[in-house]
Amino acid sequence: MPKKTAKTAHPDGLQLGRAVEWPKTPEEAKLDGVPNPQADTDYLVRFTVPEFTSICPVTGQPDFAHLVVDYAPGRFLLESKSLKLFVASFRNHGAFHEDCTVMIGKRITTEIKPKWLRIGGYWYPRGGIPIDVFWQTGKVPKGLWVPDQGVAPYRGRG
């Protein structure tokens, strides 16, 4: 039986519930949205990616981050399997911390059109300097409870 790719047509268009190949690049990866049954209610969804990996575009060395994505869904929810495949596609992607973090936030926003989204990229030190990157769309919807992302600043041995 031939392997299916992330772009293979599926009756409902989703990757969920079927075997798909890992996408080789972020551009090849597909993010799936599913209907939000609570679209008339403002609430927060959080995805935590504690083992994000990409490649330094200059040295080719691996970079590691702890990502936190918070969003207030609109008509669609971000389907978690597709997010897993999308973030895994960065394993061999060469880009700076800032580019990876903002690219992920923008791509999710483009695909599912949340009411609001923020992403925190907490990158482990490169050259002895940790880099934290934050991006969000607009203002937080009125009345939405947005907890702290819960990631302590890097302190090394301090």
pLDDT tens profile 102-120: 999 999 999 999 999 999 9
pLDDT tens string, the chain, 158 residues long: the values are: 344 443 433 446 899 988 999 999 999 999 999 999 999 999 999 999 999 999 999 999 999 999 999 999 999 999 999 999 999 999 999 999 999 999 999 999 999 999 999 999 999 998 888 999 999 999 999 999 999 999 988 877 66
How does pLDDT run across 143-154, given as a tens digit for each residue? 999 999 999 888
Catalytic residue, chosen from 40, 42, 63, 70, is 63
H helical segments located in 14-142: 80-88, 97-112
Q: How many helices (H) and strands (E) does the chain have?
A: 2, 6
Q: Contact, 146 vs 117, CB < 8 A?
A: no
Give the C-alpha separation, 27 to 103, whole Å: 10
What is 33-136's CATH topology? GTP Cyclohydrolase I, domain 2 (3.30.1130)
Closest to 81 measured CA to CA, from 27, 22, 138: 22
- The reported pLDDT for the residue numbered 13 is 82
- The reported pLDDT for the residue numbered 83 is 98
For the whole model, what pTM was predicted?
0.89
Say whether 100 is catalytic.
Answer: no
Catalytic residue, chosen from 56, 70, 100, 148, is 56
What's 94's DSSP letter? B
- The reported pLDDT for the residue numbered 34 is 96
H or E segment and range at residue 14: none
Domain parsing of the chain, residue ranges:
33-136
